[in-house]
Amino acid sequence: MALLVLKTIPLRHKAHGFKADALFAFEVFEHIEDPLRFLQEVFQLYECRTMIFSTETFYGGIPPKDWWYYGFESGQHITFYQQRTLALLAKSVGCRYYKINSNLRMITDLDIPKWRRFLIFRQFLSHPYAAYVRHSRRGLSRTWDDHIRIKARLDGNSPIGVSEAVLPSGGRQHDGTAKSS
């Protein structure tokens, strides 16, 4: 089985004869100007019709201006999605949309039976594994830390160092030191 993480390999650089079974895009979709064209291109380029990706979604009306995911300070997030938008996007490329969990989604041409979706996507069934992963990776993510640092810098405040940032998950800092209370 061949898997490809799109964030690490430039889109146009494909080894001759490479065919992926699944494509992964973590924190990519909110940076794409034309998601329909993006899906069409990667599906054709990698001869694959399964994309597993992470992105935040919103419900109802347009989120308030203080929604943290906008990132007005940096302007990096340019596309935002609702569940129905992602379902329509999937349908536009002849695929189905599945919500795996609160942040992880899948667009695929595979028809996943309802009983299999129940086993795979239900959080209460995958919770023990997810708890293990969260525990083993505690303090390794830089997403929140980078968000705080960039926001402070763009607001004109002095840059916040890693050891000074407030991490929502607690645990260890990125430099390996214990978080002070």
Q: Where are the domains positioned within the chain?
A: 3-122, 137-175
Average pLDDT in the chain: 74
What pLDDT does residue 116 have? 79
- More reliable by pLDDT, 125 or 112: 112
- pLDDT for residue 158: 54
Element (H, E) at 3: strand 3-5
Strands 22-26 and 96-99: unpaired
CA distances to 43, 83, 92, 116, 170 from 21, rounded to whole Å, are 10, 24, 20, 18, 36
Task: Output the pLDDT for position 14.
Answer: 59
Answer whether residue 143 shows pLDDT above 90.
no
Percent of the chain with pLDDT over 70: 64
Whether this prediction's pTM lies above 0.85 is answered by no
Least confident of 57-66, 92-101, 103-112: 57-66
Per-residue pLDDT tens digits for 6-51: 444 455 555 667 778 889 888 889 888 899 999 999 998 888 999 9
Q: What pLDDT score was predicted for residue 49?
A: 94
Q: Over the range 126-141, which residues count as b (16 or more CB within 10 Å of their CB) and which as e?
A: eeeeeeeeeeeeebee
Relative to beta strand 3-5, strand 50-54 is unpaired
Looking at domain 3-122, its CATH architecture is 3-Layer(aba) Sandwich (3.40)
